Amino acid sequence: MIDGGLATAARAWMAQDPDPVTRSELDALLAAAEAGDAPSAADLAERFSGRLEFGTAGLRGALGAGPMRMNRVLVAQAAAGLAAYLLGRGGHPTVVIGYDGRHNSSVFARDTAEIMRGAGVEATLLPRALPTPVLAFAVRHLAASAGVMVTASHNPARDNGYKVYLGGADGGSQIVPPADGEIASEIARAAAGTISALPRSTDYATARESVIDEYVRQTAALASGPSALRTVYTAMHGVGWETASAVFSAAGFAAPAPVEAQLHPDPDFPTVAFPNPEEPGALDLAIETAKRVGAELIIANDPDADRLAVGVPIAGDWRRLSGNEVGWLLGWQTARRLQAEDRPGTLACSVVSSPALGAIARRYRLDFVETLTGFKWISRVGGLAFGYEEALGYLVDPDKVRDKDGISAAVAVIGLFTELAAAGTTLEQHLAEFARTFGGFASSQISVRVADLAEIPRTMARLRADLPSRVGGIRVEQIDDFADGFDRFPPSDLLRFHLSGGGRVIVRPSGTEPKLKCYLDAVSTEGPAAERVAAAEATVATLDAGMRQLLAG
């Protein structure tokens, strides 16, 4: 038997759930639990142990019935809470809503539009599944008060999510405190009632094609000229291809060879274990295609096309450039352009990204800012000319979009490689010049995926209780704990170790996945370029072994 209160909560949830699939799922689970099935009882208890927390990343979680899952009830409550928040700010608020190709994305988006309009907020729905950067662009282009994007980005197929942007003084960036807490409070008030009582209206607008056309036009305008570079493109079963191919054509780029098996939206992501181009094996089909067609570059977007992965042929084989390497190259490209145009500008990256961008800024006498992780912070940096974070996110056109954009970043990368080819310079030569100019930088990452989310705070607490004096034998010179805020940073669950010789280690929980993440960086400025890089890589390898030992306890 299960607790009577739990059964009552489950039945109340079913009574207001408009989705027959999740209603049936919960009904079967409740029946099994009441019949004495222990796993069903535990599953039911977990689903009603709280509710998905609305924060600066909005909502994200596995699809399913109950308040700890993503479903139409939870989305309706979120939409009602956001509507109340916008109406409470006064004026005549407007919202634009986008969605990707995941399971239920279009349903969640329409629910949001109907509830927003029913509450008195002018709502505009994008006309079909489109990349997240198009939604971020539309918030600014339509001068909307807010934007909602239904997506779980590169998460597994079972997930979906709900991202919120604010217009006006927020400039179309994702929410940050205190807005997240204020919206969460309104959502909690909406959740106190039933969603069947929420007014709805189908009198919302559908965005015109001119919105997408203008995104394409402005993004293509970033290209410095046409390109005959032979590229391969994969959408990773997401929504990037239609928009990206239109941008490439408008920019005068040669049409890429597509990875056909991954080109069109498929919410089950059948050819990859995780639809994240960072994951091992995710680019295997793209590499096969590149070898077959004799390509010079691989361009890979994640499923909502806000991230970019770059594959390159080096030493007779293909490899993916790290997010930091692409960040260095695009940051250097931006710095050179600003210098040529005699313009100021700020380079920015998240605190977990490589220190290399700071070295570029110093060399070119540009401002440099580090932020907490997330483009909600990077996009708000004053005077921003370029921003990136190591998780394949790049912002190359802050005037158009205040979020990472994997399509405009692809335009910048194709432009850079076209320039190198025209100058007769290989990527290896360009990277060697980087090491000679700024130092040899190396980075790596440890990701510890957990089944029990409670393991992450336990590990962070254990590290804080016994702070290391050495990592892999290298002396720790300083430890920064961001838990209560550090310097100008707001509080964050993050530890940063500064090591002898310029090495650095950062440990934090992932903001979007059940992982503990550890970021390792090193730099060397002694000797020729190859020796600098080798020395930095050796330090990172030492830090990797040391941190794995520490994390294992």
* SS3 letters across 512-532: CCCEEEEEEEEEECCCCHHHH
With CA atoms as reference, report the closest residue to 118 among 60, 184, 203: 203
C-beta pairs of 35-41 under 8 Å, 24+ apart in sequence: 36/1, 41/2
Helix then strand count (H, E) for the chain reads 17, 22
Length of the chain: 553
Across 302-319, b (16+ Cβ under 10 Å) vs e yields bbbbbbbbbbbbeeeebe
With CA atoms as reference, report the closest residue to 363 among 355, 372, 373: 355
507, β-bridge pairs: 495, 518
For residue 133, is the peptide bond before it cis, meaning its omega torsion is within 30 degrees of 0? no
Catalytic residue (one of 40, 105, 153, 524)? 153
150, β-bridge pairs: 99, 162
**DSSP sequence for 382-419:** TTEEEEEETTTEEES-TTT-SS--HHHHHHHHHHHHHH
Q: Please, are residues 76 and 162 in contact by the beta-carbon 8 Å criterion?
A: no
Q: How far apart are CA 78 and CA 116, in angstroms?
A: 10
Residue 454, number of CB atoms within 10 A of its CB: 8
Q: Please, are residues 398 and 384 in contact by the beta-carbon 8 Å criterion?
A: yes
* Beta strands, E only, 83-132: 94-99, 122-125
Sign for the pseudo-dihedral over CA of 125, 131, 135, 141: negative
**DSSP sequence for 242-296:** HHHHHHHHHHTBPPPEE-GGGSS--TT-TT-SSS-TTSTTTTHHHHHHHHHHT-S
Q: Please, are residues 301 and 240 in contact by the beta-carbon 8 Å criterion?
A: yes
153 is catalytic: yes
Q: Please, are residues 86 and 78 in contact by the beta-carbon 8 Å criterion?
A: no
Residues with a known catalytic role: 153
